[in-house]
Structure 1
Amino acid sequence: MLEYTLATVVAVVVVVAAELLWARTGIFTTAKFWLATAIVWFFQIWVDGWLTRLPDPIVSYAPQHFLGVRFPFDIPIEDFGFGFALVTAVIIGWELAGRKERA
């Protein structure tokens, strides 16, 4: 079973749905959100790439739990989905907290 892949897809869908259907902060329409995402992915590539680089990774993944697609530097592509979901959820929370503070 592809637990890691499934968890990644669920995390991304839940966060995107929460933004579009509930929070409605509008972050997906801002350049600063996509710039922040690009910055996170830039550093994620270097750190995650170092941690997962084959043939001698520091962090290893059981092959039966993820798709097996690794890009770049042997990074499981699911890591990018989780990174996106986590950072996006934090930004949504930050925006909602700012709304309450201004109200």
Structure 2
Amino acid sequence: MPEYTILTLIGIAAVIGWELGWARTGVFGSVRYWLTMVIVFFFQIWVDGWLTKLSAPIVNYNSAQLSGIRFPWDIPIEDFGFGFAMVTLTIICWIRLGPKEHR
């Protein structure tokens, strides 16, 4: 399996595991979290789609490091997993390290 795909899957599993096993902030049960993710993915589709379009790419990936699945348009599917892990980890850390009344 390609390196970027493996690292993305590890990142997703690590963030979910950390939330469910240790942090326990309850983000996955929060409507605000899921609305945040919808907003993040909406803008990611437009920006990432423009940056990675195969017809005139601004960002090039080594195809040997990807699964080869691109959706929608020409966005490597791994980018969504990476975005999920990065934004989710940031939100979890924000909640855990913030004021106690927000935990």
Give 1:95's aligned residue. 95
Q: How does 1:1-103 map to 2 (within 5 A)?
A: 2-98=2-98, 101-102=99-100
TM-superposed CA distance for 1:102, in Å, is 2.3
TM-score by length of 1: 0.94
Task: State the distance in 1 between where 2:69 and 2:55 align.
Answer: 15
Task: Kindly tell me the number of residue pairs found equivalent between the two proteins.
Answer: 101
Task: State the distance in 2 between where 1:73 and 1:60 align.
Answer: 15
One-letter amino acid of the structure 2 residue matched with residue 102 of structure 1 = K
TM-superposed CA distance for 1:55, in Å, is 2.1
Task: State the distance in 1 between where 2:76 and 2:9 align.
Answer: 13
1:46-79 per-position Cα deviation (integer Å, ceiling 9, x unaligned): 0000000012200011111111100012000000
Give the unaligned 5+ runs of structure 2: none
Q: CA RMSD in A?
A: 1.1
Task: State the distance in 1 between where 2:32 and 2:14 align.
Answer: 22
Percent identity over the alignment is 55
* SS, match of residue 78 in structure 1: helix
Task: State the distance in 1 between where 2:55 and 2:11 align.
Answer: 29
